[in-house]
């Protein structure tokens, strides 16, 4: 049985590895990262970055379990591929002690047995002196099995292992998908690909490919990158990832110093103050834009308030998107008898993409999902 996977991002690449290593014939379809993002006129993916937060802590047990399952396989993927993408620096989730989302984090951690220490405001000040917190803030600190991943390198590791297991990698853009009842036919920029089954893991571009409303909402997102010097990075060598959840449900996130492909070291802060919905035909232009200056200014003010002593050399912004469903869970289901869906990361897929890819492979093979994922 040949299975074509459309979308060579984090979920699609993971599905390709799981299926290929299980002995199935796999064709993974998706273009390389554009070399000139500002002038690229094709599709984009949201893994073009060197830092994403990973942790088990979550307000929803689905995302917590999917993350735990993925994190448990990180080191094996690194060892098998020879590519390092995981930095176990820990993750801190903080916010007002009586905020509903903070209470949910503690409840999920207890229910799933996640090893996360509860910190009072005084504990936070003592353990993380470079962060400023309000007197009413508390935190849950996941010291192990949490930190950051390099999504580019994780995707590269997944594709390397899929290819090693026999998968075919087609670096092209899929334009159309047809299920004729006997198989699937995929039109790409390089020609037509035929397979027995397909998995669509094309993120916000999935609806355009399938020409069907899947109930997805795509939001424009801006992140700010704060360049620091080597000495500042060393000062912050024990800094964990941070997610702050306030009363209104906002959850800005901060990543510790990470060296990016340009050789510079950045802290990254994300968390748009307002949700900007993107139409399908506006996504490519948004990726090319470099993000919003207004959101960049908002994030800069947030960084200065959260880390007032941070010695910033420069500030830049970048654009990406997040794709959501109404249920705040990914679409992991059948589209037709021969086409499965694995899309909509809901802003949380990077850390658990390996498990989402595994679940997608189970759907493609006609197997039921585990009870926790239904």
pLDDT digits (tens, 9 = 90+) for 322-355: 999 999 999 999 999 999 999 999 999 999 999 9
E strand or H helix at 295: helix 293-306
Cβ within 8 Å of residue 77, ≥6 positions away: 17, 85, 154, 157, 158, 161, 354
Rounded CA separation 217/280 (Å): 10
Q: Are 203 and 286 in contact, with CB atoms under 8 Å apart?
A: no
How does pLDDT run across 47-106, given as a tens digit for each residue? Answer: 999 999 999 999 999 999 999 999 999 999 999 999 999 999 999 999 999 998 898 999
- What is the reported pLDDT for 41? 87
Average pLDDT of the chain? 96
Q: pLDDT tens across 103-141, in order?
A: 899 999 999 999 999 999 999 999 999 999 999 999 999
Q: What is the per-residue pLDDT for 280?
A: 87
Predicted confidence (pLDDT) per residue in 159-192, tens digit: 999 999 999 999 999 999 999 889 999 999 999 9
What pLDDT is attached to residue 248? 85
Q: What is the pLDDT of residue 89?
A: 97
């Amino acid at each position: 049985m040949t299975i074509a996977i459309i979308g060579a991002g984090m979920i699609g690449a993971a599905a390709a590895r799981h299926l290929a290593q299980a002995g199935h014939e796999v064709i993974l379809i998706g273009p390389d990262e554009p070399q000139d993002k500002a002038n690229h006129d094709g599709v984009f993916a949201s893994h073009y970055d060197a830092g994403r937060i990973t942790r088990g802590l979550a307000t929803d047990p689905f995302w917590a379990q999917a993350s735990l399952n993925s994190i448990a396989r990180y080191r094996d993927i690194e060892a098998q591929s020879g590519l390092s993408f995981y930095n176990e620096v820990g993750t801190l989730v903080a916010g007002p002690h009586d905020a509903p989302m903070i209470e949910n984090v503690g409840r999920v951690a207890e229910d799933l047995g996640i090893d996360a220490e509860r910190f009072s405001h005084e504990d936070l000040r003592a353990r993380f002196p470079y962060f400023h917190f309000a007197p009413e803030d508390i935190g849950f600190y996941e010291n192990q099995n949490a930190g950051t991943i390099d999504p580019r390198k994780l995707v590269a590791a997944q594709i390397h292992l899929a290819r090693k297991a026999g998968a075919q990698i087609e670096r092209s853009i899929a334009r159309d998908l047809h299920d004729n009842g006997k198989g699937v036919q995929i039109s790409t920029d390089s020609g037509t690909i035929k397979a027995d089954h397909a998995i669509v893991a094309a993120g916000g571009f999935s609806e355009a490919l399938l020409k069907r409303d899947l109930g997805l909402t795509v939001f424009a997102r801006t992140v700010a990158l704060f360049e620091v010097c080597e000495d500042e990075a060393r000062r912050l060598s024990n800094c964990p990832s941070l997610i702050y959840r306030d009363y209104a449900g906002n959850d800005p996130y901060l990543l510790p110093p990470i060296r990016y492909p340009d050789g510079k070291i950045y802290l990254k802060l994300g968390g748009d103050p307002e949700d900007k919905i993107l139409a399908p035909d506006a996504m490519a232009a948004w990726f090319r834009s470099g993000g919003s200056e207004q959101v960049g200014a908002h994030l800069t003010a947030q960084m200065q308030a959260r880390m007032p002593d941070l010695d910033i050399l420069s500030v830049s912004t970048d654009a990406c998107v997040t794709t959501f469903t109404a249920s705040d869970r990914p679409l992991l289901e059948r589209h037709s008898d021969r086409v499965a869906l694995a899309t909509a990361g809901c802003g949380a897929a990077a850390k658990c993409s390996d498990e989402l890819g595994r679940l997608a492979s189970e759907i493609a093979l006609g197997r039921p999902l585990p009870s926790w994922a239904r």
